[in-house]
Structure 1
Amino acid sequence: MQTERLIMRSWRDGDREPFARMNADPEVMRYFPALLTRAESDAAVDRIQASIDENGFGMWAIERIDTGAFIGFVGLAIPRFEAPFTPCVEVGWRLTPEAWGQGYATEAARRSLEAGFEEFGLEEIISMAVVSNLASRAVMERIGMTLDPDGDFDHPLVPDGHPLRRHVLYRISRPDPAGG
């Protein structure tokens, strides 16, 4: 898939090193309970690509059209945990710091929503973030998602008592083709 400035694609072996560097960056990972080792990062690539192969969608590797640089991932995923809103499909992103503040997450997330609704027939897509992750929450709002006021939850993959355990939930439904 493609947007005006980005290519959204399957993962390549050459993506592993910059992805591992990103996952070991404390600033990138500040809303996650831990940094990832190289082995954990490589395992994540394998899981993500397996989802793309199995479902047709996943967290696509993102590269800039103008430079060919890998800048992270954006896409659709099926959460691997149980919560009141699962099963579901979420839209998510993680970008390198050099890509922050340039609208890339918003641009690719919009394209992901479009694919989810038009190409994969999804009725609803969710997104979630740590309560204090205002940058990701702003992206969710820019792409038309709405905060679910009853959706706040303790993320089951984050340890009890951890300051990043509480998450907010955003939702968006398939647009009505009649415009109503």
Structure 2
Amino acid sequence: MAGAGEGTRMIETPRLRLHQWDDRHRDAFAAMHADADVMADYGGPVGRAESETKFERYVAAQRDHGISRWAVEEVDGGLLGYAGVMPRLSNDHPLGAHFEIGWRFTRKAWGHGYATESASAALRHAIHDIGLREIVSYTSLDNVRSQAVMVRLNLRRDSARDFTTLTPRGGPWRGLVWAVPSGWPRG
């Protein structure tokens, strides 16, 4: 892992680079969010304005909390997607204030293990460099791809914390909760 602590600008894995967000990522980020397959678990694609809002939220989280989703790039700099721990500090969420590991990748990046590789690197950074103690992840019942990543990351299912909330479009969404176990990655 390159760098350490809150000032980390990039994390390297054997195949990937996890970068802090900058303007060069905006167009690819928006294109990923406009893809119906990529956004199926979210209820469908989102427009540029909603994508820009999300992008700015990630930039602000990094600036204000030293942690966020990371832009996941190929070695040549092409954006594959994102992965990382996001502060969810509103008590309005069904889980209350928490930190959540999550990821989203372009269709061409599916099936290559990039989500597991980058999420593992992001978790190591959050736990060892930032010092977070409790991190959760959640996904829908039908998102078996993300559930498989959670299993490969050795997260533990925490069904007692499952929740239902509303999507940005107002429909119900049921979240299945997984937790990063104490002492991770052992385990």
Q: Mark yes or no: TM-score above 0.5.
A: yes
d(CA) in 1 for partners of 2:16, 2:36: 25
Is 1:48 aligned to residue 61 of structure 2? Answer: no
Which residue identity is paired with 1:56?
G
Q: Residue 84 of structure 2 corresponds to which residue in structure 1?
A: 75
d(CA) in 2 for partners of 1:85, 1:174: 19
d(CA) in 2 for partners of 1:80, 1:134: 27
Segments of 5+ residues of structure 2 without an aligned counterpart are: 1-10
Is 1:100 aligned to residue 117 of structure 2? Answer: no
Moved beyond 6 Å, runs of 4+ = none
Choose the corresponding residue for 2:156, options 135, 138, 146: 146
> What aligned pairs does 1:101-116 form with structure 2 within 5 A after superposition?
101-116=111-126
Aligned-residue Cα RMSD (Å) equals 2.1
Shift of 1:115: 1.0
Q: Residue 5 of structure 2 corresponds to which residue in structure 1?
A: none
Contact kept, 8 Å, 1:28 with 1:97, in 2: the verdict is yes
d(CA) in 2 for partners of 1:172, 1:52: 21
d(CA) in 2 for partners of 1:62, 1:14: 13
TM-score scaled by length of structure 1: 0.89
d(CA) in 1 for partners of 2:113, 2:165: 27
Choose the corresponding residue for 2:147, options 103, 125, 137: 137
TM-score scaled by length of structure 2: 0.86
Aligned residue pairs total: 176
Q: Deviations over 1:74-110 (max 9, x none)?
A: 1010226534532110100010011101000000111
Contact kept, 8 Å, 2:69 with 2:83, in 1: the verdict is yes
Contact kept, 8 Å, 1:123 with 1:173, in 2: the verdict is no
Choose the corresponding residue for 2:36, options 26, 35, 43: 26
Contact kept, 8 Å, 2:94 with 2:165, in 1: the verdict is no
d(CA) in 1 for partners of 2:184, 2:52: 39
d(CA) in 2 for partners of 1:123, 1:48: 21
Contact kept, 8 Å, 1:73 with 1:95, in 2: the verdict is yes
Stretch moving more, 32-41 or 80-89: 80-89
Q: Deviations over 1:13-34 (max 9, x none)?
A: 1211111111011000000034
d(CA) in 2 for partners of 1:94, 1:125: 17
d(CA) in 2 for partners of 1:80, 1:55: 10
Shift of 1:174: 3.5
Determine helix, strand or coil for the equivalent of 2:82: strand
Q: Report percent identity of matched pairs.
A: 34
